[in-house]
Each structure stands twice: as structure tokens, then as C-alpha cells.
Amino acid sequence: MQITFMLNGTSVTLTEPTPTTTLLDWLREERHLTGTKEGCNEGDCGACTVMVTDQTGHAPLNACILFLPQLQGKHITTVEGLSQKDAPLHPVQAEMITHHGSQCGFCTPGFVMSMATAHLNGDTDYDTTLAGNLCRCTGYAPIIRAAIASEEHPVPDHLHHLALKTPEILPERADGAAPQSSDDLAKLYAANPDATLIAGATDVGLWVTKQLREIATPIFLNQCADLHGITQTNTHWRIGAMTTIAEVERTLTPHFPSLGSMLRRYGSTQVRAAATLGGNIANGSPIGDGSPAMIALGATIHLRMENTHRELPLEDFFIAYGKQDRQRGEFVEAITVPKQPYTLHCIKISKRFDQDISAVCACLNLPVHDGTFGQTRLAYGGMAGTPARARHAEAALTSQPATLTTIQSAMQALTHDFTPVSDMRASADYRMKVAQNALLRAFHSINGTATDLHEVTS
């Protein structure tokens, strides 16, 4: 495998690198660019944040769970490359000094890279942008003041033109275990059905950095162009398996605002820019937030093994904990979501608001016509060994009056749908109460009562 990318304006070609070497380790150990820090080494603290540029734009990513083959054809900017030699500091760096935004300084490079990427993108939603960066010393107030002050300064020219440099210098080429299309992937995976498919690596990365596992046969999917992106027809959206959560959020939020609000709490900005919807679903986690939302929307999953294609309702893909309806050598190609009116309510409950795993994720599709509930679809994560529909509660709602009494009946019916377990995130009783109250919250929202805690004021 040969990998070519840009690093701080210089072309880099690596021949036969160890595929599961992380960008963080390579920067620090091979290039001695130690401004990129190792904090948690699992994509939570943001100390390792770098800016990654390709033809889709500029994104902050966690270098600690970004493998070298994922860099093919991209431009990487580290904190050392923000300002050119003998040039003034980047506006974000200068304002961090002016506003005393750094104390111990360990987190500072990661903050600066997140802020510089936001500065380049014109993104001023710092509560969201910086949710994936952790500071335990200075606190966020002076850092956010620095970000706001930097808005007055122009983007340095050498950063503004990164995207223009990339296609001229870098060939879109990678070989070995980096197929170029779904056809290539189908052949390669059929010949190596025990291989590990790596999409965004936000989960697999932790196998390497935290569990110290050896990935014997990794297959990197980032070069499969036809697995990326969202297309639409008059009836549905087709979401390629390699489409990032960030792109799903951008595309579907105008149609399903509640879904967008939930996805903005899916990991951090860095994680959403790397994690893929296909990877989230194929992983089969009972607490993955993507699956309940897609199930509630009536999504279909599209699978492929060699030249055989099949599809099934997404809820049928999950069989039991750790088991999905996917054969050896079969992979997720896409997810399709039917177009529909906005009747979806997504409610994520976790100990922290930002960047936390759900205790319960309730995605409730509750259409109301002439005072009567239509065909409802209620999907939950965290309530069973798989993401699952609440069939008894659906039956208690569908074709019934859209009243509080009906909702209360559905809340009781949930006890026949799930037998949740207690673990470190929540007790079984708490999970059931939260799942029931989600229905009540959605009902009040339908009737015009403000239920979002970020919008309710005394």
C-alpha cells in the first residue's frame, strides 16, 4: 500500500506503512511534530485535533484514532503549520494569548486547531465546535472570547487555498487493502471474509489504541467513492454507507430538525466528521444513536456480497446482542430513508449533554391526522440487546385518539416491549421510566408545549 498526502504544505509519500499506525503516533514519532498531543487516545479530549482538508472541505479530526491509510489524497494541517515561517501567528493563536486562553497548555494545540478550522469555515457555533475539546485548567470562557475575537481577522492565505492545492499535487490512488469502489470491495471482501472493514475508525481505532488488538487484515473503505454521499429521488434519500454523520446531519436536519438536534450530540465535531452511518449501523451496538432514528423513519438497509444484493427493513438487521443479519463477506452498501412529513421526535438521554453514550435513545415517529394517531413507529436504543421497535406501544397508539389517555396507555404498553438491564449508565427502572416519559414529552411537543430544556426559561 502506498499513501500520498500533504502535511503542512509538503507532499508526503509512504510506502508500505503499518496500516494501523495512527496519525498521532506517526506525527510525534516519525516527524517529531509534538504539538499534537496524546491525551485520552480514544477521541474524547481533542488534544490531538488536526485539520484535514479534501474536496468536501475542512474538518477537525482526532489524530489519535485516524489511521494512515485514511489520509490518502488529503491535506493535513497540524498546529505547527497554522502560521508560516517568519509570519505572524494565526489569528486564533494570537487571540488565545491576548485573552489568556491557556494555562497548563496541554489542551491548547487541540483547541487552536478546532478554532482555526471553525475560523476557516466561518463557523461561529463554538458551543458545538468546542464540545470535543477538553480543558481542565483555564475553562471555556476565555477560550470562547478568543474565538469570537478571531472572527474579525481574515483567514491566512496559505490556509485559504489548501483545497486548491490538494487535487493538483495528489493522485487519487491507493492500492492493497484500500479498494477504489464497491465492486473492488466486493471482490476483496469475498476473498477475505474475516477481514476488518474500517470506515471512520471511530470505533475500530479504540481496538488498537485501548485494547491493543492486532488487526490482521484491515480493509479501508475511504477510497470507495460510490459508498460516499447522499442522493435523493422523489420518494427517498439513499445514504451511502461511508457517508459521515456530519453530512447526514447537514442533509436531513432541514427535513427532520429533531434528528439534527440529536445528531449534534453524537460524539463531537471531530467524531461526526469521521464516523459513518454505515459503520454505526454495521457495528450493531444496542446504544448506537443512528439506528433508532433510521428505524423510526422506516429505513431500509442494502447489503452486498460479491454480485448478490439484498435489502431488508433496518429493524430486521439486528438479531441479538452482537449478532446481525450479515453473512461472512457481506457488507453494508447504503441505507434508504423514505421521504415523509416531519413527525419525528428524537430524545437522547445521557449523563452529560455533550459527547456521551446514551442511557436511552428514543426516536418516536408520531403522525397525527384529524386528532388521531396515524401509523406510528417507535424505536429505542439502550432498552434491549439491540435497537428495537416498541410494537406493543405502537399498537396502543396507532389509529387511536391523540390524547393524553392514549399516550398513558402506550407508556404502560412499553413494559411489555422491553425488559431493560441495569449497568453503569442507568438502572433498569430508570431506563423504563425515561422511555415512558419520552412518549409523554413527545406528546406535549406535538401540542405546542416547549420541552427542549435548552429552550425552556423560567
pLDDT recorded at residue 170: 44
Is a pLDDT exceeding 70 seen at residue 106? yes
Is a pLDDT exceeding 80 seen at residue 167? no
pLDDT recorded at residue 85: 84
pLDDT recorded at residue 458: 47
pLDDT recorded at residue 161: 74
Q: What is the mean pLDDT of residues 217-221?
A: 96
Percent over 70 (pLDDT), the chain: 96
Asked if 47 contacts 37 with a C-beta cutoff of 8 angstroms, the reply is yes
The lowest-confidence range among 108-112, 166-170, 261-265 is 166-170
pLDDT recorded at residue 176: 52
Q: What is the mean pLDDT of residues 49-55?
A: 95
Give the integer Cα–Cα distance in Å for 258 and 239: 18
pLDDT recorded at residue 457: 53
DSSP state of 321: T
Q: What is the mean pLDDT of residues 102-111?
A: 96
pLDDT recorded at residue 160: 79
pLDDT recorded at residue 332: 98
Q: How confident is the model at residue 171 (pLDDT cuts 50, 70, 90)?
A: very low
Asked if 423 contacts 417 with a C-beta cutoff of 8 angstroms, the reply is no
pLDDT recorded at residue 455: 58
Asked if 297 contacts 258 with a C-beta cutoff of 8 angstroms, the reply is no
- Sheet with 230-232: strands ordered across: 230-232, 236-240, 331-338, 300-305, 308-313
Is a pLDDT exceeding 70 seen at residue 178? yes
**Which residues make Cβ contacts (< 8 Å) with residue 329, sequence separation at least 6?**
189, 190, 193, 305, 306
Span 319-366, pLDDT tens digits: 999 999 999 999 999 999 999 999 999 999 999 888 889 999 999 999
* pTM metric for this prediction: 0.94
| Residue 429 neighbours by CB distance under 10 Å | 10
CA atoms lying within 13 Å on the CB side of residue 254: 3
Is a pLDDT exceeding 80 seen at residue 174? no
The lowest-confidence range among 104-118, 159-173, 223-237, 359-373 is 159-173
Is a pLDDT exceeding 60 seen at residue 175? no
The residue written with cell numbers 502560521 in the block is 83
Give the integer Cα–Cα distance in Å for 324 and 313: 13
Q: What is the mean pLDDT of residues 308-322?
A: 96
Q: What is the mean pLDDT of residues 177-184?
A: 94
Three-state DSSP state, 6: strand
The sign one gets for the Cα dihedral 43, 44, 48, 50 is positive
Give the integer Cα–Cα distance in Å for 295 and 315: 6
Span 69-101, pLDDT tens digits: 999 999 999 999 999 888 899 999 999 999 999
What is the pLDDT of the chain when averaged over all its residues? 94
Span 374-423, pLDDT tens digits: 999 999 999 999 999 999 999 999 999 999 999 999 999 999 999 999 99
Q: 311-316, long-range: CB within 8 Å, 24+ apart, which pairs?
A: 311/336, 314/281, 315/379, 315/387, 315/388, 315/389
pLDDT recorded at residue 388: 97
pLDDT recorded at residue 165: 54
All domains of the chain in start order, with CATH? 1-175 (3.10.20.30), 356-458 (3.30.390.50)
